[in-house]
Amino acid sequence: MRSGEEKFYVDPATLEPLTLEHAVRDGDEIVSGVLVAASGHRFEIANGVPNFVYPFELPQADRDALRETEARVEGYDRYLPLTFSTYGEDEQAVRNAMIDKLVLKPGMIVLETGAGTGRDSELIAQRLGSDGKLYIQDIAPSFLAKNIERMRGAEPQVEPALTNGYYLPFPDNSFDACYHFGGINAFSDIKRGFAEMARVTKPGGKVVVGDEAMPPWLRDTEFARVLINSNPEFAYQIPLDKLPIEARKTRIEWIVGGVFYVIDFLVGEGEPQADLDFPIPGVRGGTHRTRYYGQLEGVTPETKRLAYEARAKTDKSMHQWLDDVVREAAKRDLGKQD
Protein backbone atom coordinates (compact mmCIF):
# COMPACT_ATOMS: atom_id res chain seq x y z
CA MET A 1 0.00 0.00 0.00
CA ARG A 2 1.42 3.33 -1.00
CA SER A 3 1.98 5.90 1.76
CA GLY A 4 -0.95 8.28 1.95
CA GLU A 5 -3.52 5.72 0.85
CA GLU A 6 -4.38 5.02 4.48
CA LYS A 7 -6.19 8.38 4.46
CA PHE A 8 -8.40 7.29 1.55
CA TYR A 9 -9.74 4.15 3.19
CA VAL A 10 -12.41 4.04 5.90
CA ASP A 11 -13.83 1.39 8.20
CA PRO A 12 -16.09 -0.69 5.89
CA ALA A 13 -18.63 -1.16 8.68
CA THR A 14 -18.90 2.35 10.15
CA LEU A 15 -17.27 4.49 7.40
CA GLU A 16 -15.12 6.12 10.08
CA PRO A 17 -11.63 7.40 9.21
CA LEU A 18 -8.71 5.13 9.99
CA THR A 19 -5.47 5.75 11.82
CA LEU A 20 -2.30 3.94 10.81
CA GLU A 21 -0.40 2.31 13.66
CA HIS A 22 2.83 0.25 13.86
CA ALA A 23 3.70 1.04 10.25
CA VAL A 24 6.71 -0.60 8.62
CA ARG A 25 7.73 1.18 5.43
CA ASP A 26 9.90 0.39 2.45
CA GLY A 27 10.43 3.65 0.62
CA ASP A 28 7.00 5.06 -0.18
CA GLU A 29 5.29 1.71 0.46
CA ILE A 30 3.62 0.64 3.70
CA VAL A 31 4.64 -2.99 4.06
CA SER A 32 2.82 -3.75 7.29
CA GLY A 33 0.86 -2.10 10.04
CA VAL A 34 -2.64 -1.78 11.45
CA LEU A 35 -5.45 0.56 10.42
CA VAL A 36 -7.59 1.39 13.44
CA ALA A 37 -11.06 2.95 13.58
CA ALA A 38 -12.63 4.80 16.49
CA SER A 39 -15.03 1.87 16.77
CA GLY A 40 -12.08 -0.29 17.77
CA HIS A 41 -12.09 -2.23 14.52
CA ARG A 42 -8.58 -3.14 13.41
CA PHE A 43 -7.50 -3.98 9.87
CA GLU A 44 -4.10 -5.57 9.34
CA ILE A 45 -1.71 -4.71 6.52
CA ALA A 46 0.52 -7.62 5.45
CA ASN A 47 2.94 -7.64 2.51
CA GLY A 48 1.61 -4.23 1.52
CA VAL A 49 -2.01 -5.42 1.27
CA PRO A 50 -4.65 -4.19 3.76
CA ASN A 51 -7.29 -6.69 4.82
CA PHE A 52 -10.69 -5.01 5.12
CA VAL A 53 -12.81 -8.15 4.99
CA TYR A 54 -15.91 -7.56 7.10
CA PRO A 55 -17.82 -9.01 8.94
CA PHE A 56 -14.80 -10.44 10.72
CA GLU A 57 -16.78 -13.67 11.06
CA LEU A 58 -18.27 -14.14 7.60
CA PRO A 59 -21.71 -15.72 7.18
CA GLN A 60 -21.55 -19.43 6.42
CA ALA A 61 -22.55 -18.93 2.77
CA ASP A 62 -19.66 -16.53 2.24
CA ARG A 63 -17.22 -18.85 3.99
CA ASP A 64 -18.32 -21.73 1.77
CA ALA A 65 -18.00 -19.61 -1.38
CA LEU A 66 -14.55 -18.39 -0.34
CA ARG A 67 -13.35 -21.93 0.33
CA GLU A 68 -14.59 -23.11 -3.08
CA THR A 69 -13.01 -20.12 -4.80
CA GLU A 70 -9.62 -20.64 -3.20
CA ALA A 71 -9.71 -24.31 -4.23
CA ARG A 72 -9.94 -23.28 -7.90
CA VAL A 73 -7.10 -20.81 -8.00
CA GLU A 74 -4.39 -23.05 -9.49
CA GLY A 75 -6.35 -24.06 -12.55
CA TYR A 76 -8.39 -20.89 -12.93
CA ASP A 77 -6.42 -19.07 -15.62
CA ARG A 78 -5.68 -22.31 -17.42
CA TYR A 79 -9.31 -23.41 -17.75
CA LEU A 80 -11.24 -20.13 -17.87
CA PRO A 81 -10.69 -19.65 -21.64
CA LEU A 82 -12.85 -22.77 -22.15
CA THR A 83 -15.84 -20.70 -21.03
CA PHE A 84 -15.42 -18.45 -24.05
CA SER A 85 -14.38 -21.09 -26.59
CA THR A 86 -17.43 -23.21 -25.69
CA TYR A 87 -19.62 -20.51 -27.20
CA GLY A 88 -17.26 -19.49 -30.00
CA GLU A 89 -16.46 -16.17 -28.33
CA ASP A 90 -13.22 -14.18 -28.34
CA GLU A 91 -12.35 -13.56 -24.68
CA GLN A 92 -10.49 -10.31 -25.21
CA ALA A 93 -13.24 -8.91 -27.42
CA VAL A 94 -15.90 -9.80 -24.84
CA ARG A 95 -13.97 -8.33 -21.93
CA ASN A 96 -13.16 -5.14 -23.81
CA ALA A 97 -16.82 -4.74 -24.77
CA MET A 98 -17.81 -4.95 -21.09
CA ILE A 99 -15.15 -2.45 -20.10
CA ASP A 100 -16.33 -0.13 -22.89
CA LYS A 101 -19.53 0.27 -20.87
CA LEU A 102 -17.54 2.04 -18.12
CA VAL A 103 -16.76 4.92 -20.52
CA LEU A 104 -13.29 5.28 -19.04
CA LYS A 105 -10.92 8.18 -19.66
CA PRO A 106 -7.24 8.59 -18.79
CA GLY A 107 -6.73 9.87 -15.27
CA MET A 108 -9.89 8.36 -13.80
CA ILE A 109 -10.02 6.65 -10.40
CA VAL A 110 -11.69 3.25 -10.80
CA LEU A 111 -12.69 0.46 -8.42
CA GLU A 112 -12.80 -3.17 -9.48
CA THR A 113 -14.35 -5.50 -6.92
CA GLY A 114 -14.18 -9.26 -7.35
CA ALA A 115 -11.08 -8.56 -9.43
CA GLY A 116 -9.89 -12.18 -9.37
CA THR A 117 -6.63 -12.92 -11.16
CA GLY A 118 -6.71 -9.66 -13.10
CA ARG A 119 -7.92 -10.65 -16.55
CA ASP A 120 -10.12 -7.55 -16.61
CA SER A 121 -7.85 -5.48 -14.38
CA GLU A 122 -5.10 -5.25 -16.97
CA LEU A 123 -7.56 -4.09 -19.63
CA ILE A 124 -9.01 -1.42 -17.34
CA ALA A 125 -5.50 -0.26 -16.43
CA GLN A 126 -4.58 0.21 -20.09
CA ARG A 127 -7.33 2.81 -20.40
CA LEU A 128 -6.43 4.86 -17.33
CA GLY A 129 -2.91 5.92 -18.26
CA SER A 130 -0.17 7.06 -15.92
CA ASP A 131 -2.38 9.61 -14.17
CA GLY A 132 -5.13 7.11 -13.35
CA LYS A 133 -5.61 4.92 -10.31
CA LEU A 134 -7.10 1.43 -10.14
CA TYR A 135 -8.20 -0.13 -6.85
CA ILE A 136 -8.36 -3.91 -7.20
CA GLN A 137 -10.26 -5.85 -4.55
CA ASP A 138 -11.12 -9.46 -3.88
CA ILE A 139 -12.10 -11.53 -0.90
CA ALA A 140 -9.89 -14.47 -1.92
CA PRO A 141 -6.23 -13.98 -0.96
CA SER A 142 -4.85 -16.43 -3.54
CA PHE A 143 -6.73 -14.78 -6.39
CA LEU A 144 -5.69 -11.29 -5.32
CA ALA A 145 -2.06 -12.41 -5.08
CA LYS A 146 -2.16 -13.55 -8.72
CA ASN A 147 -3.75 -10.25 -9.70
CA ILE A 148 -1.05 -8.26 -7.92
CA GLU A 149 1.63 -10.22 -9.76
CA ARG A 150 -0.13 -9.68 -13.11
CA MET A 151 -0.41 -5.94 -12.48
CA ARG A 152 3.23 -5.33 -11.59
CA GLY A 153 4.54 -2.58 -13.83
CA ALA A 154 1.06 -1.37 -14.83
CA GLU A 155 1.03 2.25 -15.94
CA PRO A 156 -1.58 3.61 -13.52
CA GLN A 157 -1.17 3.39 -9.76
CA VAL A 158 -2.68 0.08 -8.64
CA GLU A 159 -3.89 -0.33 -5.06
CA PRO A 160 -4.88 -3.86 -3.96
CA ALA A 161 -6.90 -4.81 -0.89
CA LEU A 162 -8.77 -7.77 0.50
CA THR A 163 -12.43 -6.86 0.89
CA ASN A 164 -15.91 -8.28 1.08
CA GLY A 165 -17.74 -6.77 -1.91
CA TYR A 166 -20.78 -5.82 0.12
CA TYR A 167 -18.74 -3.88 2.74
CA LEU A 168 -16.47 -1.50 0.84
CA PRO A 169 -13.80 0.49 2.75
CA PHE A 170 -14.30 3.82 0.99
CA PRO A 171 -16.14 7.09 1.61
CA ASP A 172 -19.16 7.99 -0.50
CA ASN A 173 -18.53 9.23 -4.04
CA SER A 174 -14.90 8.04 -4.18
CA PHE A 175 -14.70 6.64 -7.72
CA ASP A 176 -15.39 7.65 -11.30
CA ALA A 177 -16.56 4.12 -12.12
CA CYS A 178 -16.98 0.69 -10.54
CA TYR A 179 -16.69 -2.74 -12.19
CA HIS A 180 -17.42 -6.29 -11.05
CA PHE A 181 -17.70 -9.35 -13.28
CA GLY A 182 -18.17 -12.84 -11.84
CA GLY A 183 -18.90 -13.93 -8.30
CA ILE A 184 -21.94 -11.73 -7.65
CA ASN A 185 -24.05 -14.90 -7.38
CA ALA A 186 -21.95 -15.98 -4.40
CA PHE A 187 -22.67 -12.86 -2.36
CA SER A 188 -24.83 -13.62 0.65
CA ASP A 189 -26.16 -10.04 0.39
CA ILE A 190 -26.34 -9.08 -3.29
CA LYS A 191 -28.59 -6.10 -2.63
CA ARG A 192 -26.10 -4.59 -0.23
CA GLY A 193 -23.31 -5.30 -2.73
CA PHE A 194 -25.03 -3.29 -5.45
CA ALA A 195 -25.86 -0.52 -2.98
CA GLU A 196 -22.21 -0.29 -1.94
CA MET A 197 -21.05 -0.02 -5.56
CA ALA A 198 -23.47 2.86 -6.09
CA ARG A 199 -22.50 4.50 -2.79
CA VAL A 200 -18.79 4.71 -3.57
CA THR A 201 -19.29 5.81 -7.19
CA LYS A 202 -19.70 9.50 -7.94
CA PRO A 203 -23.09 10.66 -9.26
CA GLY A 204 -22.98 10.36 -13.04
CA GLY A 205 -20.38 7.58 -12.88
CA LYS A 206 -20.93 4.13 -14.36
CA VAL A 207 -21.34 0.82 -12.57
CA VAL A 208 -20.95 -2.37 -14.63
CA VAL A 209 -21.67 -5.79 -13.09
CA GLY A 210 -22.24 -9.27 -14.46
CA ASP A 211 -22.32 -12.99 -13.75
CA GLU A 212 -23.90 -16.28 -14.86
CA ALA A 213 -27.68 -16.38 -15.30
CA MET A 214 -29.66 -18.41 -17.81
CA PRO A 215 -32.15 -15.98 -19.42
CA PRO A 216 -35.85 -16.70 -18.84
CA TRP A 217 -36.59 -17.60 -22.46
CA LEU A 218 -33.98 -20.38 -22.46
CA ARG A 219 -34.66 -22.02 -19.10
CA ASP A 220 -36.92 -24.76 -20.50
CA THR A 221 -34.55 -25.76 -23.30
CA GLU A 222 -32.19 -28.72 -23.54
CA PHE A 223 -29.40 -26.15 -23.94
CA ALA A 224 -30.20 -24.79 -20.46
CA ARG A 225 -30.67 -28.17 -18.79
CA VAL A 226 -27.33 -29.47 -20.08
CA LEU A 227 -25.41 -26.36 -18.99
CA ILE A 228 -27.07 -26.11 -15.58
CA ASN A 229 -26.25 -29.78 -14.98
CA SER A 230 -22.56 -28.97 -15.43
CA ASN A 231 -22.61 -25.59 -13.72
CA PRO A 232 -25.50 -24.97 -11.29
CA GLU A 233 -24.65 -21.26 -11.22
CA PHE A 234 -26.39 -20.90 -14.58
CA ALA A 235 -29.63 -21.51 -12.69
CA TYR A 236 -29.31 -18.21 -10.82
CA GLN A 237 -31.88 -15.52 -11.64
CA ILE A 238 -30.66 -12.15 -12.81
CA PRO A 239 -30.87 -9.99 -9.64
CA LEU A 240 -32.81 -7.04 -11.02
CA ASP A 241 -34.73 -6.71 -7.76
CA LYS A 242 -31.43 -6.11 -5.97
CA LEU A 243 -30.41 -3.01 -7.95
CA PRO A 244 -30.04 0.22 -5.93
CA ILE A 245 -32.56 3.06 -6.14
CA GLU A 246 -29.72 5.22 -7.51
CA ALA A 247 -29.58 3.18 -10.74
CA ARG A 248 -30.35 5.35 -13.80
CA LYS A 249 -30.42 4.52 -17.52
CA THR A 250 -30.08 0.85 -16.62
CA ARG A 251 -29.26 -1.55 -19.45
CA ILE A 252 -29.09 -5.36 -19.52
CA GLU A 253 -27.29 -7.51 -22.04
CA TRP A 254 -26.78 -11.28 -22.17
CA ILE A 255 -23.34 -12.22 -23.46
CA VAL A 256 -21.05 -15.24 -23.89
CA GLY A 257 -23.54 -17.58 -25.54
CA GLY A 258 -26.39 -15.65 -23.92
CA VAL A 259 -25.84 -17.22 -20.48
CA PHE A 260 -24.04 -14.37 -18.70
CA TYR A 261 -25.72 -11.07 -17.93
CA VAL A 262 -24.13 -7.64 -17.85
CA ILE A 263 -25.94 -4.77 -16.17
CA ASP A 264 -24.69 -1.22 -16.49
CA PHE A 265 -26.17 1.92 -15.03
CA LEU A 266 -25.40 5.52 -14.25
CA VAL A 267 -25.33 6.42 -10.58
CA GLY A 268 -27.95 8.97 -9.58
CA GLU A 269 -28.73 10.57 -6.23
CA GLY A 270 -31.50 9.01 -4.14
CA GLU A 271 -34.85 8.18 -5.71
CA PRO A 272 -35.58 9.40 -9.25
CA GLN A 273 -37.00 12.91 -9.51
CA ALA A 274 -40.23 13.85 -11.29
CA ASP A 275 -42.82 16.63 -11.18
CA LEU A 276 -45.58 14.96 -9.18
CA ASP A 277 -47.56 18.16 -8.67
CA PHE A 278 -48.54 19.38 -12.13
CA PRO A 279 -52.33 19.55 -12.74
CA ILE A 280 -53.34 16.54 -14.82
CA PRO A 281 -55.82 17.52 -17.53
CA GLY A 282 -59.05 15.61 -18.10
CA VAL A 283 -62.15 14.58 -16.20
CA ARG A 284 -60.30 12.99 -13.31
CA GLY A 285 -57.92 15.91 -12.73
CA GLY A 286 -55.75 16.27 -9.65
CA THR A 287 -52.01 15.62 -9.54
CA HIS A 288 -50.00 12.45 -9.12
CA ARG A 289 -49.41 13.41 -5.50
CA THR A 290 -53.04 14.24 -4.64
CA ARG A 291 -54.20 11.03 -6.32
CA TYR A 292 -51.89 9.07 -4.02
CA TYR A 293 -52.14 10.98 -0.73
CA GLY A 294 -55.68 12.35 -1.06
CA GLN A 295 -57.60 9.08 -1.16
CA LEU A 296 -60.62 8.79 1.14
CA GLU A 297 -62.52 5.70 2.30
CA GLY A 298 -64.75 5.42 -0.72
CA VAL A 299 -68.50 5.71 -1.30
CA THR A 300 -71.35 3.48 -2.45
CA PRO A 301 -71.80 2.93 -6.21
CA GLU A 302 -74.98 5.05 -6.12
CA THR A 303 -73.20 7.97 -4.50
CA LYS A 304 -70.35 7.67 -7.00
CA ARG A 305 -72.84 7.77 -9.90
CA LEU A 306 -74.51 10.87 -8.46
CA ALA A 307 -71.15 12.53 -7.93
CA TYR A 308 -70.14 12.00 -11.56
CA GLU A 309 -73.50 13.36 -12.73
CA ALA A 310 -73.13 16.43 -10.54
CA ARG A 311 -69.55 17.03 -11.65
CA ALA A 312 -70.65 16.84 -15.29
CA LYS A 313 -72.86 19.90 -14.72
CA THR A 314 -69.78 21.96 -13.82
CA ASP A 315 -66.56 22.80 -15.62
CA LYS A 316 -64.54 21.21 -12.83
CA SER A 317 -62.48 18.04 -12.86
CA MET A 318 -63.59 15.32 -10.48
CA HIS A 319 -60.59 16.23 -8.29
CA GLN A 320 -61.66 19.86 -8.00
CA TRP A 321 -65.36 19.02 -7.54
CA LEU A 322 -64.60 16.55 -4.74
CA ASP A 323 -62.13 18.90 -3.12
CA ASP A 324 -64.72 21.68 -3.03
CA VAL A 325 -67.58 19.42 -1.83
CA VAL A 326 -65.57 17.73 0.91
CA ARG A 327 -64.09 21.02 2.10
CA GLU A 328 -67.50 22.69 2.36
CA ALA A 329 -69.03 19.68 4.14
CA ALA A 330 -66.12 19.52 6.58
CA LYS A 331 -66.29 23.26 7.34
CA ARG A 332 -70.09 22.98 7.88
CA ASP A 333 -69.78 20.08 10.31
CA LEU A 334 -66.93 21.77 12.16
CA GLY A 335 -68.89 24.99 12.43
CA LYS A 336 -66.32 26.89 10.44
CA GLN A 337 -68.63 28.30 7.78
CA ASP A 338 -67.50 31.66 6.40
At 296, the pLDDT band (50, 70, 90 cuts) reads: confident
Question: If you average pLDDT over residues 173-187, what whole number do you get?
Answer: 96
What tens digit of pLDDT does each residue of 23-63 get? 999 999 999 999 999 999 999 999 999 999 999 999 999 99
> Taking residues 109-123, what's their average pLDDT?
97
| 205 — pLDDT class (breaks 50, 70, 90) | very high
Of 208, 294, 308, which Cα lies nearest the Cα of 250?
208
Average pLDDT over every residue of 10-27: 97
Question: Residue 179 is which amino acid?
Answer: Y
**Half-sphere exposure of 127 toward its Cβ, with a 13 Å CA cutoff?**
17
- For range 188-208, the mean pLDDT: 97
pLDDT, average across residues 268-279? 95
What pLDDT score was predicted for residue 96?
98
The helix or strand, by DSSP H or E, that contains position 122, with its residue range, turns out to be helix 121-128
Q: Shortest CA distance to 271 belongs to which of 302, 296, 252, 245?
A: 245
Give yes or no for residue 337 having a pLDDT over 90: no
Q: Mind listing the pLDDT tens digit for each residue in 61-108? A: 999 999 999 999 999 999 999 999 999 999 999 999 999 999 999 999
Judge whether residue 306 has pLDDT over 90.
yes
With a cut of 90, say whether residue 169 has pLDDT above it.
yes
Report phi then psi at 184, rounded to 5: -60, -40
- The third-level CATH classification (topology) of the domain covering 52-267 is Rossmann fold (3.40.50)
Enumerate the β-bridge partners of residue 162: 51, 138
Q: Which of the four pLDDT bands, split at 50, 70 and 90, describes residue 298? A: confident
Q: At what angle do helices 301-312 and 318-333 cross, to 10 degrees?
A: 110
Going by pLDDT thresholds of 50, 70 and 90, the confidence category of residue 156 is very high
- 338 pLDDT more than 80: no
Q: Write down the pTM of the prediction.
A: 0.91
| Mean pLDDT value across the chain | 95
The residue extents of the domains of the chain are 1-51, 52-267, 288-333
